[in-house]
Structure 1
Amino acid sequence: MSNKILIVDEDSKIRKVARVYLEKEGYDVLSAENGVRALKEVCESEISLILIDVKIFTMNWIEACLKIRKNNVIPIIFMFNEIENINAVQVLPSVMGDYIKKPFNSEELIEIVKLRIKRYKISPSYQKLDKINIEIGSLTINRDTRQVFIANNTVRLTQKEFDILELLASNKGIVFSIEKIYEKIWGDVFFESDNTVMVHIRKIREKIEEEPENPRYIRTVWGVGYRI
């Protein structure tokens, strides 16, 4: 999965300029004009770095940022116009990150973004997160939050659908019979006439496969079962 960067700024021109610079470097870019929208993006997407204007930092957003910091180590880069703006966040070391002054050029922005993402990915917290995530092609499964993404887009699965997908993805290449899947996920005895597993597999494919009839992820092994 490619690195996804969230740009948070009230100024649409800044968001556009930063997006152009970052997308040229191959990053996926999301943008938000306020803290509320930014929080929604953080909750719904796998963000690798947040680039945020310090003017966004109303007290509610500071509290929200502290919550983000409590649960993960997403790097944050603050954008500012004047040095006075920095004073507003200096009392909050737990949310502080690097700074970049506006207007910035492409070299400045790319250099600091690459450095922060590199540090992030070698940190113990990221290594732990990396074990939580299962990544297969464009498919990402987060065991901790029970979220599923296809090319960074959130996929809504039911509890049982997620359990089946996690089982198969955690055992990539191993074929599971319908009976084995049923017994592991439902914890009950399987009856030959029960088509519950097949129905759930079909629904999962409809949600994660570009062509459900020609699946890329959940493959049918005829006469045996399913595998990823």
Structure 2
Amino acid sequence: MDKKILVVDDEKEIRELLEIYLTNDGYQVIKAADGEEALAILEKEDIGLMVLDIMMPGIDGLAVCRAAREKSNLPILMLSAKSENIDKVQGILTGADDYMTKPFDALELTVRVKALLRRTYYFNHRQLVDNNLLTVDYLTIDKLNHKVSYEDKEITLTAREFEILYLLASNRGRVFSSEEIFERVWKEKYFQSNNTVMVHMSRLRDKLEKSSGGDKIIHTVWGVGYKIEK
């Protein structure tokens, strides 16, 4: 998933403020002071999301949004100094995905940016491809090629770790006990003192959390088993 964010606003202070917050959140920020500059950047850069002010001299934000929508489905978060509902409606009808009114809280904006990127990534990858590809937020599990990646960064798993992950991901929301996981993955009878699943689960979760920056993908239901949320 692309983390390159285009911030378009004719107010220098806002551009610089958003650059600080978004950069701190791990995004690469490109800034544009007007609509013409924004359109030029969209032509040459692979932008993951655009934060776009409506009220700008020359080519305004609505025109930029329309032009962007003709060529791509990148998520667009629109900003406006006006609070009238008509501006929000215009922005959404033009193709914006979200809308915030100035003055805004920069921290809330970064949260919305992350949510938009997550939602866009999920919808773009939610379909199973020949029943071999599963996605869990930013995590992609390719059964055909036996590969797992997080935001396009491959995670090296053992065959057993992969099978455990695929079992949970293909049954999202369902809790599997250690016994059930062992018998499905190892295809052997489970013995009460067997801690094989626990050891493999610990290694698997450690790899996933290190690659995802701490995201908990596999959840423990104490006294019951393990699951991946829906």
Structure with the larger RCO, 1 or 2 (CA within 8 Å, 6+ apart): 1
- TM-score between both structures, scaled by the size of structure 2: 0.48
